Structure 1
Amino acid sequence: MTAASSLQNAARGRWAVAAMFFINGLLTGSWAPQIPVFLTRLDISKATLGLLILLFGLGALTFMPLSGYLMSRYGSRAVVRGFASVCVFGLLLVALAPSVPVAVVAMFLFGGLIGGMDVAMNANAVTVERRLSRAVMSSSHAFWSLGGFAGGGAGGLIIQHYGHVTHAIIVTIVAIVLLAIAWRYLITDRKPVAQEHHKFTLPKTATVYLVGLMALMSMIPEGAVLDWAALYLQQELGAELAAAGLAYAFFSGTMALMRFAGDGVRNHFGAVTTLRFSSLIAASGMLVAALSPWPWLVIAAFAFSGLGIANMVPIAFSAGGNQPGMASGTGMSVVTTMGYSGILLAPSLIGFAAEHIGFSTVFVVLSGFLVIVFLMSSLAHTADFAAQPAE
């Protein structure tokens, strides 16, 4: 294969993996407008719904290490294809669940498939970065955000006019079509490390767990803003509901915009420098949001913090997938599992803590987490990589 054709394949692979991110975000975002119907259809309490949503997170955290193990044997392309082929039916499975026991299984599997696909598509994005010798991780995550926006934005209208099952069918068809288009263009990564084929073992290198800790401390604040920012503005600052809802909207908006710009920033300044500035921006915004008495400034501070958090997780994922002497999928599975535990499980702990110390104190602590990422940012040096030739 010539250098030109290899580069052309990598460019196609870049858009193919972007489609995987969009599909995953679309399925996840489409679940949100299904929740009210899910609650009334199964005649369950909010507490039971909370447990079912927790099962979604536990499913993701269970399948993520499995995805890493499978990639150590078969590579990221085969695994992302496998998980995506089943994942596209996950929302439909939940929408059709006729009872709570079936919903328990459906939610666990849906979360597991989303999580397993997530690890594999992130590992494949690392492979694309190596082939192109430039960053694509931040914009890949931006496509996930676009998918979530499309799924959440259109879902409510479709469900209201045509019902929840029709909505799930439409999302499934869109996901299948996108998968079929992208299928052949997903690129193969280097052959997995031979000694990792025989059994499932956790990596013995401490660095990958420290990178995972950076991802964890970057994603906990993201989950906190998603679940608790509006309540913080209402309960502790007296903001109206309409204003309180702007906190996450502006936060997610600046994140999406910065993720599209983030690859260019990282390519120019390098992963470590980008992470250092990003973590300081995120920490300062979170601190102002925690200490300000004015709702409008809190909203602006969350938006400013989103500019920083936007590229912290993509850089951590790239660093995890580029650990020396370790298969990309193995490092990625560790970092994503640790990172996503922050956004899936930590918000419930934050709610418990806020009852005792208040949201303002919680957000000060989260600002401290982001400062710790700043102090650890040199660990992201593996996210800067040399070009990898085609096999």
Structure 2
Amino acid sequence: MWAASLPALDERLDLGTGRTGTVLLLVSLGVLVSMQGAGRLADRWSSRRVCLISGPIAALVLLGPALAGSYGVLLACAFVFGLGLGVLELAMNAHAVEVELVYERPIMSSFHGMWSLGGAAGGLLTSAALRGGLGVGTLLTITAIAGAVLFLLPGPLLLHDRTSPKPVEAKSAERRSVGRAAVLLLGAVVFAGAIAEGAAMDWAAIHARRVLEVDPDLAPLAFTVFSTAMTVMRFLGDRIRGRLGATRTLRLAGSLAASGYALVLIAPLTSGASMALAWAGWALVGTGLATVVPVAFSSVGASQEAAGRALAMITTFLYCGLLAGPAVIGHLADLTSLPAALALPGILAVFVALAGPRAISALLPTRPHQTPVPTPTT
């Protein structure tokens, strides 16, 4: 709801691309700052308790940006909003790991698919509410209060007992320790994909409004198209990777995302079909980028016995790109133009297509086109 409401918030406070980028940067900084302590809180209190507390709080702090009456107030509220999001983000993922251990099959991708489904639903609700005449401040206020209540509903179903890690089974001789260079290369690929994803999340709707000049109530649909495509592909991603293998899946992912950004960039040059062409582009971007992170995590986990440090490094690259990317796009757009700025994630998508397979091959030298898929436990 926050991302889909950005065009209307931009118009209400007359922010412009540069100041909008600063707002997004402060949200990102808040997330990064709070994540540093959220891990220690989860270890001390359990991820369940941190989820129960941080969920409603993260929703309620959205009241700050919703009611901000000036740019300065919005900056402070955006940072506080980011603090709440950071704690919740870490707690949800930590609890998802514990749930996956109990469930005894890989389901993390489905959790991220549900996150994308929520993004698509938020975009549709925002578009409908704005089209019905609801102001952006009122909309985000309702979202904050309703979100706080909704976070309370699944609380009793969360795991009560901490899950002890299961004994690590003996790995085959084919699995070897991954060199730092290979992990850094894959981290760079994830970083590039995260910037491309973040650009689509926070700038698709603004691009539709400012560059394509569509009506304010239709602008959020650009984000909705992207989010819906990503959601569908995240639910299908494991099956596709099982058929194509990790390297070819990553090559296809980068190629689709790069093609999507190309369509977005040429959309303003067409007459009459610019919005449809942009929607097709955002759909391709979402379809491609949906599989980048799952493939990266799976490849690191399958390549070595002690994958903890490597996964932590990849996750750091992911969040830095995902959170800082939109702000970089905003300031680059302020210096040039928004279409010119969106050329950057398109170029980075090409990097994913070219460097991604090489990174996977370095991680899994014995089976460069196949990442082992765990067998479900019955």
Same fold (TM over 0.5): yes
Q: 2:78, 2:213 → 1: CA distance? A: 36
Distance 1:103 1:362, change over 3 A: closer
* Match of residue 239, structure 2, among 243, 254, 264: 264
Q: 1:45, 1:290 → 2: CA distance? A: 25
- The Cα offsets for residues 226-252 of structure 1, whole Å up to 9 and x where unpaired, read as 333345456556666666554322222
Distance 1:342 1:165, change over 3 A: same
Give how far 1:178 is off: 0.9
For the pair 1:249 / 2:224, whether they are aligned, the reply is yes
Distance 1:387 1:373, change over 3 A: same
Distance 1:283 1:315, change over 3 A: same
* Match of residue 265, structure 2, among 286, 290, 297: 290
In structure 2, the residue corresponding to 1:345 is in which secondary structure? helix
Q: 2:160, 2:108 → 1: CA distance? A: 20
Q: 2:188, 2:33 → 1: CA distance? A: 18
Q: 1:374, 1:253 → 2: CA distance? A: 22
Give how far 1:320 is off: 5.6
* Match of residue 57, structure 1, among 25, 28, 31: 28
Equivalent in the alignment of 1:170: 146
| 8 Å CA contact 1:211, 1:319 repeated in 2 | no
For the pair 1:182 / 2:132, whether they are aligned, the reply is no
For the pair 1:85 / 2:52, whether they are aligned, the reply is yes
| 8 Å CA contact 2:64, 2:78 repeated in 1 | no
Equivalent in the alignment of 1:371: 350
* Match of residue 111, structure 1, among 82, 89, 94: 82
Q: 2:351, 2:59 → 1: CA distance? A: 37
More helix per residue: 1 or 2?
Answer: 1
| 8 Å CA contact 1:287, 1:367 repeated in 2 | yes
Give how far 1:104 is off: 7.4
- The Cα offsets for residues 81-125 of structure 1, whole Å up to 9 and x where unpaired, read as 243122112222453799999987775454234324434544565
Equivalent in the alignment of 1:279: 254
Higher mean alpha-carbon deviation, 134-143 vs 364-373, is at 134-143
| Matched letter for residue 364 of structure 1 | A
* Alignment of structure 1 residues 198-277 onto 2, 5 Å: 205-233=180-208, 245-277=220-252
Q: 2:91, 2:301 → 1: CA distance? A: 11
Equivalent in the alignment of 1:95: 63
Aligned residues between the structures = 343
Give how far 1:350 is off: 1.6
In structure 2, the residue corresponding to 1:183 is in which secondary structure? coil
Equivalent in the alignment of 1:16: none
Q: 1:302, 1:79 → 2: CA distance? A: 38
Equivalent in the alignment of 1:148: 119
| 8 Å CA contact 1:251, 1:303 repeated in 2 | yes
Equivalent in the alignment of 2:313: 334
Equivalent in the alignment of 1:8: none
Q: 2:337, 2:283 → 1: CA distance? A: 21
Give how far 1:259 is off: 1.4
- The Cα offsets for residues 19-53 of structure 1, whole Å up to 9 and x where unpaired, read as xxxxxxxxxx468669989x99xxx8859887565
* Alignment of structure 1 residues 282-361 onto 2, 5 Å: 282-292=257-267, 293-294=269-270, 295=274, 296-319=276-299, 324=304, 326=306, 328=308, 330-361=309-340
Distance 1:220 1:53, change over 3 A: closer
Higher mean alpha-carbon deviation, 116-125 vs 176-185, is at 116-125
| 8 Å CA contact 2:254, 2:353 repeated in 1 | yes
Identity fraction in percent: 29
| 8 Å CA contact 1:123, 1:332 repeated in 2 | no
Q: 2:214, 2:82 → 1: CA distance? A: 34
| Matched letter for residue 90 of structure 1 | A
Equivalent in the alignment of 1:25: none
| 8 Å CA contact 1:251, 1:306 repeated in 2 | yes
Q: 1:234, 1:103 → 2: CA distance? A: 21
Distance 1:122 1:376, change over 3 A: farther
Higher mean alpha-carbon deviation, 116-125 vs 361-370, is at 116-125
- The Cα offsets for residues 280-329 of structure 1, whole Å up to 9 and x where unpaired, read as 2112222233245321323312212221112213333444666735464x
Distance 1:238 1:35, change over 3 A: closer
| 8 Å CA contact 2:253, 2:288 repeated in 1 | yes
